[in-house]
A and B are shown apart, each in its own frame.
Chain A
Amino acid sequence: MIRQFLAIFRARSMEFLRDRGTFFWNLLFPIVLVAGFALAFGQPDEKVFKIGVIGPTTGIPAILSSPQFQQVPYPADQEAEALKKLRQHQLDLAVAPAQHRYWMNAESGKSILAERLLADELKLAASSMNPSTPALSLWAKGAVTGKPIRYVDWAVPGVISMNMLFSCLFGVGYVLVRYRKNGVLKRLKATPVSALTFLVAQAVSRLVIVLGTVVVVYAGTDFFLHFTMNGSYFDLLLVTVLGIVCLISLGLVFAARFRSEELANGLMNLLTFPMIVFSGVFFSLEGAPAPVRAAAEIFPLTHLIHAERQIMLNGAGLLQVAPDLGALALMTVVFLAIAAWLFKWE
């Protein structure tokens, strides 16, 4: 059985590597997409300071209300979120007027500049003894550090995962339906090869191909764009492997029965489009209504991208992304069970 597995694995992998068009498309498509994002969104977006205001705004220094400052309100219990954004350079300062505290990011030039403006204001206020403004000495300074998170840093996990989705669904689903239609599966049915051996070989071949492509695309784009990577590469690899296995299992569900490439193609597109929109590939669903966010949880891509972003942007460990890993593992089991139940050679 191992001999059969290796032979099918080898044949399928060679088919992929020798099909130059598909091969280069798989590599180039995500690179072009990521590079496009970097170009389109790589410019500084606005020339004002973004200030996170934690809790009530009463007593906020007057300068922070001037047009050069954009205030982003955070409820009092969301201090950590505001500080995270400050670390990622998405905020230039965070202030909590009620607590007389502010935080700055010493690795951000804008943050240093904004702090200076704030400090001047506070000094001025103290010297004029304006009773409506608290004295400078009463404001406590906090500092955070962190490299900026650009849109491209945020988008990379989504774009690469989307490419994995295409490669897994179409590389397994579509290819097996084509094999069924043109008789390759019928010919294999006439040999002693079991359906399990055949499918496992197909899946493993695809896993190696997709993983290889992801590594090349990641390394290739990282070379030019220097992504933010705050977590462990091992964790990221583990999440990626589980994600690919889950998406291949989903591909196998489509591959199980259909004979028509058009039908399989149509249904796969029907699934991939909402999945791309609602899994947060291109934009965050943080502000979306709760039912939409809940519905997005049914897509494996949502969990994959979320876990990758947690690791890459927030430096999360496996324990923190365990709910996503659990969801992916559960979906993999469900997809494999459905595929095994539905599968027919012909």
Chain B
Amino acid sequence: MDILRVENLSKVYGSLTAVDNLSFGIPQGICFGLLGPNGAGKTTTIEMMEGILSPSSGQVLFEGQPIGPKFREKVGIQFQSTALPEFITVKETIELFSAFYPNPRPLAEVIELCSLSDILNRDNQKLSGGQRQRMLLALAVIPRPELVFLDEPTTGLDPQARRHFWDLVNRIKAEGTTILLTTHYMDEAELLCDEIAIMDHGVILERDTPTQLLRQHFAGALVTIPEEAVANPSDLQKLTCCHDLEIRAGHVEIETSDLDGTIRSLLEAKIDLTRLSVHKPDLEDLFLKLTGKFLRS
């Protein structure tokens, strides 16, 4: 059963359609990733689902019902950017938010779940980026939510802090909480999400499990060679092997299910293979394939 569903959801700002007639559901207990480049409409969509922004048309259903007064007690939200009340400590902030909910998690449990023991008595204003995100996640899990919204929670964090944050998300997931995550980090989506939807220009381009999407869009391996290794661009036309070939960011990318044949064919065309690389396509490749074909600002 879908814990949250959106039906024909649209948001229009003047002449700009930020979200265009979206309909999809999030099954209970999974981590659902909403992926897309900056400006794709992710935050607008998630904020309508959170009940923060009212849609221009369409509706959001939580447990089959339109969002009602009890919704706020059953969901946890981590916004992309939030300021916290000043001059109070992490512990005091958690106590403050705990007072807002009818059945909050005990303080000790929140501290344990979000690894906050080292920063408990620190002023909110003196937290590092990673500590701050841990703290904001703690605020989201205080109500023992059935559904947690995480809007680009690791943007701007260093690799170590991101990995630490992923561990925390996995802990929350292990409790059976449904998670809706937006991100533009593909490694994050691949690691955390059971299902993903890739959106751009306000519409969802694809939606499935990461494995299924990769299988569907990529035949086998991706071969990449720098563009300057190809002395004569017309040589590329001569390649017999490769039907799916693209030039992107100074690299020639060849998608192939016959790696041996492709390499033979490149050798025949006398292309320098010194800096050739072969890799298994990942979500980033899929993301670029689906959203990166257009010029964007």
Q: Is A192 a contact partner of B95 (Cβ separation < 8 A)?
A: no
**B88 CB, nearest partner CB in chain A, Å:** 6
Q: With the chains together, A189 CA to B54 CA distance in Å?
A: 13
Q: Which residues of B contact A14 (CB under 8 A)?
A: 87-88, 92
Q: With the chains together, A179 CA to B84 CA distance in Å?
A: 9
Q: Which residues of A contact B100 (CB under 8 A)?
A: 4, 7, 191-193
Q: With the chains together, A117 CA to B69 CA distance in Å?
A: 83
Q: Which residues of A contact B73 (CB under 8 A)?
A: 192
Q: Is B82 a contact partner of A186 (Cβ separation < 8 A)?
A: yes
Q: With the chains together, A83 CA to B234 CA distance in Å?
A: 110
Q: With the chains together, A15 CA to B99 CA distance in Å?
A: 17
Tell whether A47 is near chain B: CB-to-CB under 8 Å. Answer: no
Q: Which residues of A contact B87 (CB under 8 A)?
A: 14-15, 18-19
Tell whether A196 is near chain B: CB-to-CB under 8 Å. Answer: no
Q: Is B82 a contact partner of A8 (Cβ separation < 8 A)?
A: no
Q: Is B52 a contact partner of A11 (Cβ separation < 8 A)?
A: no
**B46 CB, nearest partner CB in chain A, Å:** 12
* Chain A residue with Cβ nearest B69: A192
Q: Is B83 a contact partner of A184 (Cβ separation < 8 A)?
A: yes
Tell whether B297 is near chain A: CB-to-CB under 8 Å. Answer: no
Given known A190-B50, A190-B72, A190-B77, contact A3–B99 (CB-CB < 8 A): yes
Tell whether B79 is near chain A: CB-to-CB under 8 Å. Answer: yes
Q: With the chains together, A191 CA to B86 CA distance in Å?
A: 18
Q: Is B96 a contact partner of A15 (Cβ separation < 8 A)?
A: no
Q: Is B95 a contact partner of A7 (Cβ separation < 8 A)?
A: yes
Within 8 A of B (CB), among A3-31: 3-4, 6-8, 10-12, 14-15, 18-19
Q: With the chains together, A280 CA to B88 CA distance in Å?
A: 39
Interface size class on chain A is 20 to 34
Q: Which residues of A contact B85 (CB under 8 A)?
A: 11-12, 15, 184
Tell whether A183 is near chain B: CB-to-CB under 8 Å. Answer: yes
Q: With the chains together, A184 CA to B83 CA distance in Å?
A: 5
Q: Is A7 a contact partner of B83 (Cβ separation < 8 A)?
A: no
Within 8 A of A (CB), among B112-155: 139
Q: Which residues of A contact B93 (CB under 8 A)?
A: 11
Interface residues of chain A: helix, strand, loop or mixed (majority): helix
Within 8 A of A (CB), among B48-91: 50, 52, 69, 72-73, 77, 79, 81-88
Q: Is B86 a contact partner of A15 (Cβ separation < 8 A)?
A: yes
Q: Which residues of A contact B102 (CB under 8 A)?
A: 192
Q: Is A186 a contact partner of B88 (Cβ separation < 8 A)?
A: no
Q: Which residues of A contact B86 (CB under 8 A)?
A: 15, 19
Question: Looking at the complex, which one of A6, A183, A346 makes contact with B81 (CB distance below 8 Å)?
Answer: A183
**A185 CB, nearest partner CB in chain B, Å:** 9
Question: Looking at the complex, which one of A3, A6, A11, A189 makes contact with B88 (CB distance below 8 Å)?
Answer: A11
* Chain A residue with Cβ nearest B80: A183
Q: Which residues of B contact A346 (CB under 8 A)?
A: 52
Q: Is B79 a contact partner of A186 (Cβ separation < 8 A)?
A: yes
Q: With the chains together, A193 CA to B69 CA distance in Å?
A: 11
**B47 CB, nearest partner CB in chain A, Å:** 9
Q: Which residues of B contact A182 (CB under 8 A)?
A: 83
Q: Is B88 a contact partner of A187 (Cβ separation < 8 A)?
A: no
Given known A14-B88, A15-B85, contact A7–B79 (CB-CB < 8 A): no
Q: With the chains together, A184 CA to B81 CA distance in Å?
A: 10
Q: With the chains together, A11 CA to B84 CA distance in Å?
A: 11
Q: Which residues of B contact A183 (CB under 8 A)?
A: 79, 81-83
Q: With the chains together, A10 CA to B89 CA distance in Å?
A: 13
Q: Is A7 a contact partner of B96 (Cβ separation < 8 A)?
A: yes
Given known A11-B85, A15-B87, A190-B52, contact A4–B99 (CB-CB < 8 A): yes
**A16 CB, nearest partner CB in chain B, Å:** 8
Q: Which residues of B contact A18 (CB under 8 A)?
A: 87-88
**B285 CB, nearest partner CB in chain A, Å:** 35
Given known A14-B92, A190-B52, contact A7–B99 (CB-CB < 8 A): yes
* Chain B residue with Cβ nearest A18: B87
* Chain B residue with Cβ nearest A7: B99
**B197 CB, nearest partner CB in chain A, Å:** 22
**B28 CB, nearest partner CB in chain A, Å:** 21
Question: Looking at the complex, which one of A6, A8, A187, A192 makes contact with B79 (CB distance below 8 Å)?
Answer: A187
Q: Which residues of A contact B139 (CB under 8 A)?
A: 187
* Chain B residue with Cβ nearest A15: B87
Q: Is A15 a contact partner of B52 (Cβ separation < 8 A)?
A: no
Q: Is B88 a contact partner of A15 (Cβ separation < 8 A)?
A: yes
Q: With the chains together, A179 CA to B82 CA distance in Å?
A: 10
Q: Which residues of A contact B50 (CB under 8 A)?
A: 190
Q: Is B96 a contact partner of A189 (Cβ separation < 8 A)?
A: no
Q: With the chains together, A7 CA to B98 CA distance in Å?
A: 9
Q: With the chains together, A130 CA to B101 CA distance in Å?
A: 93
**A342 CB, nearest partner CB in chain B, Å:** 18
Given known A11-B88, A14-B88, contact A187–B82 (CB-CB < 8 A): yes
What are 25 of the A-B contact pairs (CB < 8 Å)?
A: A3-B99, A7-B100, A10-B96, A11-B88, A11-B92, A11-B93, A18-B87, A18-B88, A19-B86, A19-B87, A179-B83, A184-B84, A186-B52, A187-B79, A187-B83, A187-B84, A187-B139, A190-B50, A190-B77, A191-B72, A191-B100, A192-B69, A192-B72, A192-B100, A192-B102
Given contacts A15-B86, A192-B101, 17 further A-B contacts (CB under 8 A): A3-B99, A7-B99, A10-B96, A11-B96, A12-B85, A14-B87, A14-B92, A15-B87, A179-B83, A184-B84, A184-B85, A186-B52, A187-B77, A187-B139, A191-B97, A191-B101, A192-B69
Report the 3 A-B pairs with minimum CB-CB distance, sorted nearest first.
A7-B99, A182-B83, A18-B87
